[in-house]
Structure 1
Amino acid sequence: ALKGLTALCKGEPALSEAVAIATLPAQLPCLADRADSVKEATLALCKIEMKMCSPTAVKAILPALFDGLLDSNWQVKEGTCKCLGWLADTQQGSVGACLVDIIPKVSECLGDTKKQVASAARKACGKACLVIDNPDILPIVPDVIKTIGDVGKTEATMDKLLATTFVTQIDQPTLAIMVPILSRSLADRRALMKRKGALVIDNMCKLVAEPMDMAPFAPVLEPKLTRNADEIASEEIREFTAKALATLRLAMGDAADTFIPEPAMTVQGMVDVMTEVVGDKAATAAPLILHSATMVHFKLASDKRIEDGVCDMAVKPYLEALMGAEEGAAASVAFNEKCDEIISAAAKEQGYVMQDDDLCHIDFSLAYGGKVLLQNTRMHLKKGRRYGLIGGNGVGKTTLMRAIDNNQLEEFPNDLLRTIFVESHSSQEEDEEEMTVMDFILKNDIIREEKTVEQIKEALFRMGFTEDRINQTVVSLSGGWLMKLALSRAMLYEPQIMMLDEPTNHMD
């Protein structure tokens, strides 16, 4: 059987990937077989499978490898670690993206009593960590990997981290390799080690740019920092710890409260759709292949990658092999459309749970003059934040803000939110040009109802207006003063969302 699978993988690597995914859980125990020929054949097959694995299949193949790392036989653990190393050699980027899941699993083998297992785990971890390109951390990555498997090296490695000057942005792969020893340092009995852990966390978290990069590690570090900030006897170390805790929470941002819904479809749900598309005859002919191909598609769909090209990579080759080129291609398109329909319907039904600090969370499309500017775009705005619209001329920045202001964006909650739009080239209606500055402000019904003349004057004075200028007509104002007037009115309106289009135009 092993020789047959080896021949299949060598002859048809693209088509045999699903077979490899399906049979890997049964292959790995053979690494502990009594017969050397079986062990050698299994290792050779596993190496071929890892080397031919496509980037889209990495997430589908990892669960079997994680199970292998927990096997009671050390030969299986050693062989599985080698598989991870080969996989990292071939698909460094895809493996690096899963480092947050890989490191905790491999760390159990790094401290294994069998030298062969620990050595293979170190090599696998080192290859997986090649994706880390942070120049501040790179020199000490080997020490960090050794320390994960050897508690006795923790203090020396922490000293090296303390001596490191962090200047480069910290990403998730870097955090994945660092958090295990930082967590261990925070849990150490010695207050000095807790202090070192807090100092490193404080330094590192200042350079975390993406809150979602920090999200998987917050549940590991935050409780320990919280407990240390309350319980450590030394006031100085408590202060360091409290500071690190504040920096960690700042790095997390809103990620800790982000609601991540369950996948709209399960693997079995996709298999059912696949069976419906290809028919019972084809499904019965190759159930393992279809199940594995569907699992790859499920993993990609869970990552919100459901576009046509993904289905072409994950499903289409197998359907074409089973049903013929034309029929298989049509079945692939039908499968993708049905899954997309189910996932889209579930997303609409599930919706988004609004948080207390949310202003709006909508999906919308925007067109202008027959040209689609934005399609199925998400806008998520929170209270107290500043957002920037970045893009070249003509891409629709002003058009979007004007559409919101004119209540032309159906999905936008204009009925619930008070918004105002300040354009870069302020224009007035004819009846406004001969108005005085004060009359222009008072023309707004809400300002007239909510503000007194004294409050309006105070706001105008803060913007540099004098009593004389307040009595001037709008048409007599220069471009800069017109912009100041527009900004004054916007602030007096007290909107929940203020949209500014190049507000410093004409200003000194």
Structure 2
Amino acid sequence: LSEADAAAELAAALREAAAAGSSDARRVAAFRAGGMAKGAGAGAARAAEVRGALAGMFASKKAPGAREAAACAFEALVRGLGWAFEVDALELFPALVSAQGDTDKDARKAALKAGKVFFSKASAPCAKLAFPMLLEGLVAKQWRTKEGCLKLMKDIAKAAPSQLEQSLPAVMPTMMEAVADTHDKVHAAAVAAMPGVCGVVQNAETQTLMEVFVNALTVPDKATDVCLDRLMEVTFVNSIDSPSLALMVPVMLRGLRDRNQVVMKQSCQAATNILNLCLDSAAVAPFAPPLVYELQKAAESDSPDVREVSVKALDALQVGLGDIKASEVEAKAAEAQRSIAAHAAEAVQSWGLEPALAAHVARLAASFEGTARLSPVSTALQAALKPIAKS
């Protein structure tokens, strides 16, 4: 067949898949298209305008069968063309992420399988570009999309552990938000995915603590102090890498936000010990802003012991950052804190709250102190509400 003839047959197979009346028929037609693409090459796929065809199928709001067929065809083309399909696959990946939360069960199932195959076949640079898109799905408004992306994350941990390990510093904050999600199914999916996600870390000493890490990350109220104790007991032979820090830092931050000064002290001590074992400043840098913010708050604690150990932890962080100046990180953290405080004060003034209501809102804000992204906002709101509540 000429390239033009192959492209015509490929386009026809995709149309057949979209119009098929059953899941089996859609999958057969989609994989026939994938086989044609493999035989004819990427040029035929481009000539058939595969990317546009699949985008249209994914966007078929009133045709769940077409959306299922799009996911099946995506999988088949990834299998058939491999790296030659990566450019198109990345363009289509946001649609595949959205399909993880499709209202149709068969479309969701096909999208989940396609995502798993994509990450198992993708090159490391391609996977690195795709992970941020997947994380967008984890913070989507629709709970089904969050749940579906968490299920995909669980499968990726098995199918592409090395790719996931390298992206763990970006993945873990979003995973922590999913664990704290108020929707039961999202929370359950995050808890179910966490052991596999954490398990991709290859550092030998970190692996020995895997169970306590998973407990601390999924039930922080009950397991943070236990994890911090174990963390300080372990003798690390290997240098601590970025994926290991991705598990350790959320536990430390949770401890620093705890109102129990003993737990705060444990967190500072653990941070000092761990940061002294980090030989790569680039591995430390992504975690510096939240650590600086929480350690500076701890340095203002009422407890002299907490203040003392927090200063030591800040010093260890500065050493760990090496050529990356801790003062620059501190300045950025302080600038962000001032911006949040200014916006909080402006918002509170516009509300016109009575003292009793202001006190109640302050208590509500305080309940978010233990959460990753809302802790700075919580602190700023409480500070802005305090004068009104006392008036």
Q: Offset of 1:191 from its aligned partner?
A: 1.3
Corresponding residue number in structure 2 for 1:228: 298
287, 300, 308: which one pairs with 1:217? 287
Does structure 1 retain, via aligned residues, the 8 Å contact 2:269–2:309? yes
Corresponding residue number in structure 1 for 2:257: 187
Which residue identity lines up with residue 203 of structure 1 in the other structure?
A: N
Looking at CA atoms only, which structure, 1 or 2, has the larger radius of gyration?
Answer: 1
Does structure 1 retain, via aligned residues, the 8 Å contact 2:134–2:149? yes
Verify: 1:35 aligned to 2:72, yes or no.
Answer: no
Corresponding residue number in structure 1 for 2:271: 201
Does structure 2 retain, via aligned residues, the 8 Å contact 1:110–1:121? yes
Corresponding residue number in structure 2 for 1:393: none
Corresponding residue number in structure 2 for 1:134: 203
For residues 73 and 281 of structure 2, the distance between their equivalents in structure 1, rounded to whole angstroms, comes to 48
For residues 76 and 162 of structure 2, the distance between their equivalents in structure 1, rounded to whole angstroms, comes to 28
Corresponding residue number in structure 2 for 1:25: 94
Does structure 2 retain, via aligned residues, the 8 Å contact 1:185–1:196? yes
Alignment CA distance shift 1:9-1:227 (3 Å): closer
Q: Name the one with the larger strand percent.
A: 1
Q: Name the one with the larger helix percent.
A: 2
Alignment of 1:281-300 (within 5 A): none
Q: Offset of 1:119 from its aligned partner?
A: 4.2
Verify: 1:94 aligned to 2:178, yes or no.
Answer: no
Alignment CA distance shift 1:223-1:53 (3 Å): same
Task: Provide the identity percentage.
Answer: 29
For residues 94 and 32 of structure 1, the distance between their equivalents in structure 2, rounded to whole angstroms, comes to 23
Q: Offset of 1:130 from its aligned partner?
A: 3.5
Does structure 2 retain, via aligned residues, the 8 Å contact 1:111–1:150? no
Alignment CA distance shift 1:100-1:245 (3 Å): same
Does structure 1 retain, via aligned residues, the 8 Å contact 2:317–2:326? no
Q: Please say which of residues 26-35 and 188-197 is displaced more in the overlay.
A: 26-35
For residues 232 and 35 of structure 1, the distance between their equivalents in structure 2, rounded to whole angstroms, comes to 52
For residues 235 and 20 of structure 1, the distance between their equivalents in structure 2, rounded to whole angstroms, comes to 55
Does structure 1 retain, via aligned residues, the 8 Å contact 2:157–2:200? no
Q: Offset of 1:239 from its aligned partner?
A: 2.1
Verify: 1:63 aligned to 2:111, yes or no.
Answer: no
Which residue identity lines up with residue 112 of structure 1 in the other structure?
A: D
Count of aligned pairs between the two proteins: 259
Does structure 2 retain, via aligned residues, the 8 Å contact 1:211–1:251? yes
For residues 258 and 210 of structure 1, the distance between their equivalents in structure 2, rounded to whole angstroms, comes to 18
For residues 137 and 114 of structure 1, the distance between their equivalents in structure 2, rounded to whole angstroms, comes to 30
Alignment of 1:440-459 (within 5 A): none
Q: Offset of 1:42 from its aligned partner?
A: 2.2
Alignment CA distance shift 1:167-1:226 (3 Å): farther
Corresponding residue number in structure 2 for 1:73: 142
Alignment CA distance shift 1:190-1:174 (3 Å): same
Corresponding residue number in structure 1 for 2:122: 53
For residues 312 and 205 of structure 2, the distance between their equivalents in structure 1, rounded to whole angstroms, comes to 22
Q: Offset of 1:167 from its aligned partner?
A: 4.1
Which residue identity lines up with residue 168 of structure 1 in the other structure?
A: N
Does structure 2 retain, via aligned residues, the 8 Å contact 1:53–1:87? no
Q: Any unmatched runs of 5+ in structure 2?
A: 1-56, 58-69, 329-391
SS in 2 for 1:117: helix
CA RMSD of aligned residues (A): 2.6
Corresponding residue number in structure 2 for 1:11: 80
TM-score, normalisation: structure 1: 0.47
Q: Please say which of residues 175-184 and 87-96 is displaced more in the overlay.
A: 87-96
SS in 2 for 1:188: coil
Does structure 1 retain, via aligned residues, the 8 Å contact 2:318–2:326? no
